[in-house]
Amino acid sequence: RTIGDRIGEAKASGNLGNTLKILGQFDEAVVCCQRHLDISQEQGDKVGEARALYNIGNVYHAKGKHLSWNTAQDPGYLPQEVKDTLQKASEYYERNLSLVKELGDRAAQGRAYGNLGNTHYLLGNFSEAIAFHKERLAIAKEFGDKAAERRAYSNLGNAHIFLGRFDISAEYYKKTLQLSRQLKDQAVEAQACYSLGNTCTLLQDYEKAIEYHLRHLVIAQELGDR
C-alpha cells in the first residue's frame, strides 16, 4: 500500500484470506478475498480475478463443511444456513469456471469442476454432482493426474450410492481401488475396500463384502489405525 502496488496489495489480501480460512475465521477471510477480487477487477487482472473467485468459493465451501459437521446428517438434509453457505460457494465456483474457460486454463477448470461436484454433493444435488465429477475425471485423465482421477472415481461412487445405483458405485470404487494400489496409497486403498464392502452389502453380495472388509481390517492393522 505504501508504494502504491495495487496488484501486490491484491495478492497479499488473497494470501491473508486463505490463511484466515485455515484458521476458521471465515467472515474475515471473505473480506480479504473480496478485496483481492475488487482490486483484480479494478486492475483488469483476469488471472487474479479468477484466483480470487476460486478462493472465495473455497472459504464458503470450508465454512459450509464446518457448519455441517455439527449436524452430522446425510448430504442434502442440511440446515438453511449451511445450504445458503454452500450455495454461495457453488456460485463463486461457477463464476471462476466461466472465467478460466475464457482464459483457456484447463487445469483450473478441473479444480473448479471437482469443487462444484463436492458442493453439489453436500447439497444433495447428486445428478449435478455426477456431471461435474465426470468433467473433473476427463480433465484429470487429460493431464495424467492419477491422484485427481482417483478422487473423481471415489466421488462418483459416493454420488451414485445416493441415487441407489449400487452396481455403478461398485464399478467406480473398483477403479478407485486399482488407482490407490498404483499410487501405493494404503490409507486410500483401505478406504476403497471399506466403500466396496458396504456397496457389496447393499448389493447383497455378502461373500465379496466380507472379502473387502477383511482387506480393510488388515490394512488398518498394518497402519496401526485404531
User: pLDDT band at residue 20, thresholds of 50, 70 and 90?
Assistant: very high
pLDDT tens, position by position, 153-167: 999 999 999 999 999
pLDDT > 70? residue 208? yes
Dist. CA 226–CA 224, nearest whole Å? 6
pLDDT, the chain, mean: 96
Tell me, what's the pLDDT at 97?
98
List the domains of the chain with CATH numbers. 1-144 (1.25.40.10), 149-225 (1.25.40.10)
DSSP notation for 60-93? HHHHHHHHHHTT---TT---HHHHHHHHHHHHHH
Phi and psi at residue 154, in whole multiples of 5°? Answer: -60, -45
Angle subtended at Cα 124 by Cα 120 and Cα 127, rounded to the nearest 5 degrees: 70
In the chain, the percentage of residues whose pLDDT exceeds 90 is 94
In the chain, the percentage of residues whose pLDDT exceeds 70 is 99
pLDDT > 70? residue 72? no
What separation in angstroms does the CA of 135 have from each of 9, 59, 159? 34, 23, 14
Average pLDDT (134-150) is 97
